[in-house]
Amino acid sequence: MGGPESVVMSGPAAAGWAGARREELRGRLVALGFDEVRFTTWAGPGPTGLRDWLEAGMQADMAWMERTREKRLDPGLVLPGVRTIILLGVNYWPGGPAQKTTPPDSFLPGSGPRWARYALHRDYHDTIKPGLAAAGRVLEELGGAMPEDYRYYVDTGPVQERGLAARAGLGFLGKNGMLISRRHGNWLFLATILTRLEIEPDQPLRKKPLPRAAAEPAGLLCGKCTRCLTACPTAAIPRPGVVDARRCISYHTIENKGVIPRELRAGIGDRVYGCDVCLEVCPWNRFARAARSVLLEATPAIAQLGLCELLELTPERFAEIFRGTAIKRVKRAGLLRNACVVAGNSGDRSLLPQLVKLAEASVPMVRAHAVWAVRKLAGEARAIALLQKSREAESEPAVLEEYTAPLA
Ligand code: SF4
Ligand code: SF4
């Protein structure tokens, strides 16, 4: 990050950047590997749907969203004296035709478990951050900023990137709740730099400015399309622009540290980490071009992993394959849990030996999902026999419940 939060405003804020000077800055940041560079002025908090979303509990157990609420609503609390927010986008579309979307409970023949596209890279936080540090140095060199005059974040900061990116004209908020770029579709990592520098803002895509009292509504350029809402396998988008994390596969396979609700497991289908369905179906992706990958590093080996290999993942193999990726944060137990759900949905009975073994794993969460998968694949009568040993040894109430609860 840039400097500390409580710094008195200094000189550079007074000097505005516009015209050729602003374009020089934009060009320098594009040269660093950012595919989109847009500016918006911070004029103080306005309305946003964040409060309502939090109050409805749609953040599930992501308590950090609640904890950082006030800062998310007001970047001035993150960097006092902030004047400009620089929105940066990094394209991660690999090129080629869009992956087909499978309906819930089905698999693409011959394909392995499916991963969110963004995850098939070295952790983007690590690869984009050096670009942000270099961008900070550009602000110092061109604008006379001091390190304490800016702060930068990639994804994890208390910043509402998508709403700010829409204000900066980087794209619009889709009905899927994502920021959609007219040039890159749904495939952008977003990063932000808050700065005390005054930079002339870019125009939003919206031609008619919204009244100050109105929050940016989703779907500006969606027209009558509702593909993302209807394609979501777990009905997690109750209304345009609102994703209910409690039903979302991305949340459950990445953020949820515990048991995945049984009624959602079938909808997970073959998605072992994250979910791109509401992104994949969006017609705006047709404009996406292959990424330059200046700030990214693909990890193609992950996509080659078969389900059987995942179910047999040792701690050593997990460390070897997922070192330096965002996936490592779900830890081996989280990935095994997800793999059990995918195996249960696969219809592939050849996976039963691995699942029966996992029904005796040391982590209760893994045992619970393995039991579910065995019952789903083998059928009740055979499952009773296959799970007899693990059931006799089981004492954890949440796992015991999986032996008898309805499968969905
Ligand atoms: Fe639905 Fe998947 Fe989009 Fe979540 S990420 S809202 S589960 S389609
Ligand atoms: Fe909008 Fe359709 Fe894209 Fe959903 S799929 S975000 S409705 S254009």
The residues facing 199 across adjacent strands are: 17
Residue with tokens 């602003």: 22
Residues 72 and 170 in one domain: yes
Closest by CA to 117, choosing from 262, 282, 320, 261, is 282
91, containing H or E segment: strand 84-91
Residues 11 and 88 in one domain: yes
152-169 burial: b if 16+ Cβ within 10 Å, else e: bbbeebbbbbbbbbbbbb
Residues 353 and 379 in one domain: yes
Distance 182 CA to ligand 2 centre (A): 12
Distance 240 CA to ligand 2 centre (A): 9
Domain carrying residue 223: 1-256+281-296
* Domain-embedded: residue 261: no
Residues 232 and 315 in one domain: no
Residues 237 and 325 in one domain: no
- What whole-number distance in Å separates Cα of residue 282 and Cα of residue 295? 25
* Domain-embedded: residue 8: yes
- Tell me the one-letter amino acid at 67: R
Last residue of a domain, one of 266, 296, 326: 296
Q: Ligand 2 atom 4: the closest Cα is on which residue?
A: 228
Residues 109 and 190 in one domain: yes
- Tell me the one-letter amino acid at 7: V
Q: Write down the pLDDT at residue 102.
A: 46
Residue with tokens 């830890």: 331
Residues 286 and 310 in one domain: no
Q: 395: which 2 tokens?
A: 């004492």
Residues 14 and 146 in one domain: yes
Ligand 1 lined by 268 (C-beta under 6 Å): no
Residue with tokens 């803002």: 201
Distance 172 CA to ligand 2 centre (A): 11
Q: Ligand 2 atom 1: the closest Cα is on which residue?
A: 222
- Residue 392 neighbours by CB under 8 Å, 6+ apart: none
Among 74, 105, 155, 348, the active-site one is: 155
Closest by CA to 387, choosing from 399, 261, 309, 342, is 399
155 noted as active-site residue? yes
* Domain-embedded: residue 267: no
The alpha-carbon radius of gyration of the chain (Å, integer) is: 23
Ligand 2 pocket by Cβ (under 6 Å): 174-176, 180, 219, 222, 225-228, 281-284
Ligand 1: which of 187, 243, 246, 338 to mutate, most ligand atoms within 8 Å of CB? 243
- What whole-number distance in Å separates Cα of residue 155 and Cα of residue 159? 8
In this structure, how many other beta carbons lie within 10 angstroms of the beta carbon of residue 31? 11
pLDDT tens for the chain, residues 1 to 408? 333 222 333 444 445 788 899 999 999 999 999 999 999 998 766 656 667 766 777 767 776 666 677 777 788 889 999 999 999 999 999 887 655 444 444 455 456 899 999 999 999 999 999 999 999 999 999 988 999 999 999 987 788 899 899 999 999 999 999 999 999 999 999 999 999 999 999 999 987 777 665 677 899 999 999 999 999 999 999 999 999 999 999 999 999 999 999 999 999 999 999 999 999 999 999 999 999 989 999 998 899 999 999 999 999 999 999 999 999 999 999 999 999 999 999 999 999 999 999 999 999 999 999 999 999 999 999 999 999 999 999 999 999 999 999 987
The number of residues making up the chain comes to: 408
Residues 110 and 250 in one domain: yes
- CA-to-CA separations, 11 to 142, 244, 339, in angstroms, rounded: 14, 44, 55
Q: Write down the pLDDT at residue 1.
A: 37
Residue with tokens 């080996």: 301
172, containing H or E segment: strand 172-173
137, containing H or E segment: helix 124-143
* Domain-embedded: residue 274: no
* Domain-embedded: residue 1: yes
Residues 286 and 315 in one domain: no
* Domain-embedded: residue 265: no
Closest by CA to 387, choosing from 398, 372, 397, is 372
* Domain-embedded: residue 276: no
Q: Cα–chain-centroid distance for residue 241?
A: 15
DSSP code of residue 57: T
Residues 24 and 128 in one domain: yes
In this structure, how many other beta carbons lie within 10 angstroms of the beta carbon of residue 276? 22
Last residue of a domain, one of 296, 324, 349: 296
* Domain-embedded: residue 272: no
Distance 43 CA to ligand 2 centre (A): 29
Q: Cα–chain-centroid distance for residue 184?
A: 16
What are φ and ψ of residue 45, in 5° steps? -60, 140
3-state secondary structure 212-251: CCCCCCCCCCCCCCCHHHHHCCCCCCCECCECCHHHCHHH
Model pTM? 0.88
Residue with tokens 């936080």: 125
3-state secondary structure of 179: strand
For the chain, what is the domain count? 2
Query: DSSP of 6-18, one letter per residue?
Result: -----GGGGSEE-
Closest ligand to residue 268's CA: 1
Angle at 273 between CA 218 and CA 155, to 5 degrees: 50
Residue with tokens 């979910």: 275
- What whole-number distance in Å separates Cα of residue 332 and Cα of residue 310? 10
Residues 367 and 394 in one domain: yes
Closest ligand to residue 254's CA: 1
Closest ligand to residue 273's CA: 1
- What whole-number distance in Å separates Cα of residue 181 and Cα of residue 190? 11
- Whether the CA torsion 408, 118, 177, 224 is positive or negative: it is negative
- What whole-number distance in Å separates Cα of residue 239 and Cα of residue 289? 30
Is the distance from CB of 166 to CB of 172 less than 8 angstroms? yes
